């Protein structure tokens, strides 16, 4: 009887861990989608302003945003973060 109870607790713990891993992967996937959308919008943003200096500023802003997303993905604490709605 004791072994059955231990197996049941182990199964519940495994299920909890799998759910947490799935959430973490979903968060990473959503962050990558945002990152890709930023990169896809870059050409449109650059074409909207014909001034070279304005294009340079826009490119730097998008690059900074992309670097911020990349830094978030690379951070060791990211694995434990959850999106707040």
Q: Give the burial string for 38-50 (b: 16+ CB within 10 Å, else e).
A: beeebeeeeeeee
Neighbours of 20 (CB within 10 A): 13
Q: Is residue 85 domain-resident?
A: no
Residue 28 resides in a domain: yes
For 31-70, how does the pLDDT look when each residue is reduced to its tens digit (9 = 90+)?
Answer: 888 877 777 777 666 665 555 555 566 667 777 777 777 7
In a domain? residue 34: yes
Count structural domains, the chain: 1
* Average pLDDT score over residue span 2-9: 75
Residue 80 has pLDDT above 80, yes or no: no
Structural contact between residues 70 and 32, judged by C-beta atoms closer than 8 angstroms: no
Q: Which domain holds residue 34?
A: 2-80
Model-level pTM? 0.40
């Amino acid at each position: 009887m004791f072994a059955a109870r231990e197996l049941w607790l182990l199964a519940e713990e495994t299920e909890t861990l799998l759910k947490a891993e799935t959430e973490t992967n979903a968060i990473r996937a959503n962050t990558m989608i945002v990152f890709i959308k930023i990169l896809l919008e870059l050409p449109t943003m650059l074409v909207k302003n014909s001034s070279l200096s304005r294009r340079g500023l826009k490119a730097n802003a998008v690059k900074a945003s992309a670097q911020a997303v990349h830094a978030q993905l690379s951070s060791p604490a990211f694995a434990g973060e959850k999106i707040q709605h």
